[in-house]
Chain A
């Protein structure tokens, strides 16, 4: 029994808790991608760099607050800075929509032209972020680092293995729940949210019933910028901020959105967790865990790691391909334009 619990704790500490936090971050990112896809009907390649932009503003404001001595100890100061990040990112996204995408909407350009435009924007944002904050690692989490420490947990339960629950992980999961709840309340209950869903389902019908397309597009961008900033900041608090990493997040985020069904918000959340859990499960070394759960004589020699962590991209990719092959519209039926 003791061994069983020890094994369970080990698994929770290294697998379930990190994967849940990572899954929440991916889900928030994928929600932003999926909303833009549902309304504007293109895959926004600039989303990773929008996340980086938002996080950059949050980091700068956090540094300012720290200098001024403002803090909300034990919580990280970055939480105070998030509204500023959201405001700046929203402004940036709205300006870029005005300058880049609005013309393409006016001439009714093909979705792929929007996609190419978003690649241009990706370059600009990527350069801008590197220009302002550099390419190096930024750690900006302060306050209490752990909710439950490893040692405390062991003392509390008397087990050999414990769970170290980081504040950033707890915050990520909590924030994700609040944000997702608020988003769904917005989409289901408010007039603006309903008009968004109507527009996404049937553009012509929505236009006929007097929904202003420009307004819907604006709300979509605001939501996407908000989600991107929050997702980026949470990821940064958890794993540190580096512009290039955010660019690379594009792949798991898109994989999550497609696996869930592009354009479907619920699917994006499910997809985020599917990708995160498979990435972590496949790259986790099970050796120590197996020593608890199987008889001693069966104990394996190697690390019992299915795939080295360097190949975590491969996991998102394989899941993506499997879903595309066997269920091309995703787990929850998304759009297939």
Chain B
């Protein structure tokens, strides 16, 4: 199976055909849902490709960055809860101030105090003291906030701004967290970066699950304003009714498909912009430098390139893209559910996308994103069909048969693993291998 760059459109044609098949055999609404998620998955894969493909950074904390995007959709677009702010706002504000002051003090102490035990203990005292001081303000305030109408709100709410803004905010939030992590862990060996990012993503999810005053935690946030029109509003409009009649479709089906097409258009625009930016970057002198650093760090360093600095840069950029994708997903879903963030689906699946698509090739990542997301969704019905076929010889009420059919959902994990293993074994450079981008001299 070899696909050259010229055949890339073929890959997309194949995917389009697959989506049409889903439309015909299952439903058009499902087909468009898959398309939307495919687009978002491609953006995530693009973000990872910037880190892994351009610079060889092994980030397995994508879930955390996607979740940061998700929470920014909540914090930007939800209506603020005035009572909660009135009760706990001051406490939270003071707590944050103390925490920030602690960090500044600790950093200051690190630079001022003489090296050795004094510095270590001094910083420990500052950090621990600051932690308790911040908790002193935080704890009562969070209790007050969480007691405000807990069934409906029980959190501070957001800023009530347009939800599209959260895509930018999500990127910025993910980028700033990436800056902190990168500062600490880049420059260490790649395995360490992997474990550190794995850890930070679990911590981010734990914070989102437990800090109810900010995120409502496991009670979820529903009703996040969507960037697309609502079905119910559309159904009241005359032109929508006319169009539905013209297509001969049910009004509800028509509006649902129309809304999904709007989402797809938005996601497509976003993917287009990010793809264009990534391509421009990788073809620029900056991109050549990144590849040089990836392929031979020592040589690049000898040429006077700041390897750790460039790594930090690319780590931040890639994480920002993942954050944008996370914000898009939450705003399309209209709800934020911290419990759905699962490292297999949000981190390692994206890795499968990039490896299968072709590390270092942006188009490859997009193809990989489409392909893998499609199979991730469709592996379940396909696995079910396969298992019902295989077990058709067994009796209707056979225990084995019902167990196998019940477990069909887990087939997707096995399928993804096998796809990754086969790719890395037989086609380690992916479906669309990275092109050597030498400028032609004639």
Binding site for B on A (CB under 8 A): 42-43, 99-100, 103-104, 109, 111-113, 115-117, 119-128, 130-132, 134, 247-248, 250-251, 254-255, 258, 262, 302, 308, 310-311, 313-314, 316-317, 320-321, 324-325, 328, 336-337
Q: Given A128-B414, A311-B210: A119 and B420 within 8 A (CB)?
A: yes
A122→B424 CA distance, assembly (Å): 14
Question: Which residues does chain A contribute within 8 Å of B351, judged by CB atoms?
Answer: 116, 119
The answer to whether B407 and A130 have CB atoms under 8 Å apart is yes
The answer to whether A122 and B348 have CB atoms under 8 Å apart is yes
Question: Which residues does chain A contribute within 8 Å of B188, judged by CB atoms?
Answer: 324, 328
The answer to whether A127 and B410 have CB atoms under 8 Å apart is yes
Question: Which residues does chain B contribute within 8 Å of A247, judged by CB atoms?
Answer: 343-344
Question: Which residues does chain B contribute within 8 Å of A100, judged by CB atoms?
Answer: 421, 425
Question: Which residues does chain B contribute within 8 Å of A134, judged by CB atoms?
Answer: 407
Q: Given A123-B348, A258-B192: A251 and B424 within 8 A (CB)?
A: no
From B190, B200, B410, A130 is in contact (CB under 8 Å) with: B410
Binding site for A on B (CB under 8 A): 56, 58, 139, 184-185, 188-192, 194-196, 198-200, 202-203, 206-207, 209-210, 343-344, 348, 351-352, 355, 407, 410-418, 420-421, 424-425, 428
Interface of B is mostly: helix
Whole-angstrom distance between the Cβ of B351 and the nearest chain A Cβ = 6
Nearest A residue to B423 via CB reads A120
From A115, A128, A321, B191 is in contact (CB under 8 Å) with: A115
Known: A123-B344, A126-B417. 4 other contacts (CB 8 A): A120-B418, A126-B344, A320-B195, A325-B184
Question: Which residues does chain B contribute within 8 Å of A42, judged by CB atoms?
Answer: 191
Question: Which residues does chain B contribute within 8 Å of A337, judged by CB atoms?
Answer: 189
The answer to whether A113 and B190 have CB atoms under 8 Å apart is no
Question: Which residues does chain A contribute within 8 Å of B343, judged by CB atoms?
Answer: 247
Nearest B residue to A325 via CB reads B184
Q: Given A113-B424, A119-B351: A310 and B139 within 8 A (CB)?
A: no
From A112, A130, A255, A314, B206 is in contact (CB under 8 Å) with: A314
Interface of A is mostly: helix
Whole-angstrom distance between the Cβ of B372 and the nearest chain A Cβ = 11
From A123, A130, A131, A254, B195 is in contact (CB under 8 Å) with: A254
The answer to whether A127 and B411 have CB atoms under 8 Å apart is yes
A103→B191 CA distance, assembly (Å): 21
Q: Given A131-B414, A308-B210, A317-B196: A117 and B421 within 8 A (CB)?
A: yes
Q: Which of B190, B412, B424 has the largest number of chain A CB atoms within 10 A?
A: B424
A336→B192 CA distance, assembly (Å): 10
From A120, A254, A255, B421 is in contact (CB under 8 Å) with: A120
Question: Which residues does chain A contribute within 8 Å of B420, judged by CB atoms?
Answer: 116-117, 119-120, 123
From A313, A321, A325, B202 is in contact (CB under 8 Å) with: A313
Nearest first, the 8 closest Cβ-Cβ pairs linking A and B are A127-B413, A123-B417, A124-B417, A120-B420, A317-B199, A127-B414, A120-B421, A130-B410
The answer to whether B417 and A250 have CB atoms under 8 Å apart is no
The answer to whether B348 and A119 have CB atoms under 8 Å apart is yes
A317→B139 CA distance, assembly (Å): 23
A328→B196 CA distance, assembly (Å): 13
The answer to whether B417 and A262 have CB atoms under 8 Å apart is no
The answer to whether A123 and B414 have CB atoms under 8 Å apart is yes
The answer to whether A127 and B417 have CB atoms under 8 Å apart is yes
Ordered by A's residue number, 14 sampled pairs between the chains whose C-beta atoms are within 8 Å are A43-B194, A43-B195, A112-B56, A123-B416, A126-B344, A127-B414, A131-B410, A131-B411, A247-B344, A262-B191, A308-B210, A310-B206, A311-B210, A313-B202
A113→B52 CA distance, assembly (Å): 12
A115→B413 CA distance, assembly (Å): 18
